[in-house]
């Protein structure tokens, strides 16, 4: 017979991948990186210039995003190019944007210059 605590531990374990996904998106810097990568590949140097942060800080955030399976890296010579691991992250951003809008915290999560993510309220801008 499975005890309540064993059942709760199993449920937590089953939810670990979802928790990792939300953890990856829970930091403003990581969310900024994901938002930038919706426009295409970027190197660490590109991201440090965009974010105004140290290379080590950006690299640590990229490592977290890789651990969460949100970002992949492609080596080219001595450089590493980072991109989104799954295009479905655009759906997550779109849903988050709509949810933020209905909770009174509307914001634009669309990629710079892009219209892949609907504006708050569901309309594509």
Give the CATH number of the domain where residue 9 resides.
1.10.10.10
Both 22 and 62 in one domain: the answer is yes
Q: What is the pLDDT of residues 46-101, one digit of tens each?
A: 999 999 999 999 999 999 999 999 999 999 999 999 999 999 999 998 898 999 99
pLDDT at 112: 57
Mean pLDDT of 110-124: 47
Both 99 and 80 in one domain: the answer is no
CA-based nearest residue to 60, from 47, 41, 77, 42: 47
pTM of the model: 0.78
Count of domains in the chain?
A: 2
59 Cβ contact list (under 8 Å, min separation 6): 44
pLDDT band at 36 (very low <50, low <70, confident <90, very high): very high
Range of the domain at 8: 4-84
């Amino acid at each position: 017979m499975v005890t309540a605590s064993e059942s709760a531990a199993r449920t937590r374990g089953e939810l670990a991948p979802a928790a990792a996904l939300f953890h990856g998106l829970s930091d403003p810097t990581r969310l900024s990186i994901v938002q930038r990568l919706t426009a295409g590949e970027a190197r660490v140097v590109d991201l440090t210039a965009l974010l105004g942060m140290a290379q080590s800080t950006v690299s640590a955030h990229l490592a977290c995003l890789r651990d969460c399976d949100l970002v992949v890296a492609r080596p080219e010579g001595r450089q590493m190019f980072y991109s989104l691991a799954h295009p479905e992250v655009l759906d997550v951003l779109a849903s988050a944007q709509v949810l933020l809008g209905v909770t009174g915290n509307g914001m634009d999560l669309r990629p710079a210059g892009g219209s892949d993510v609907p504006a708050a309220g569901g309309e594509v801008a």
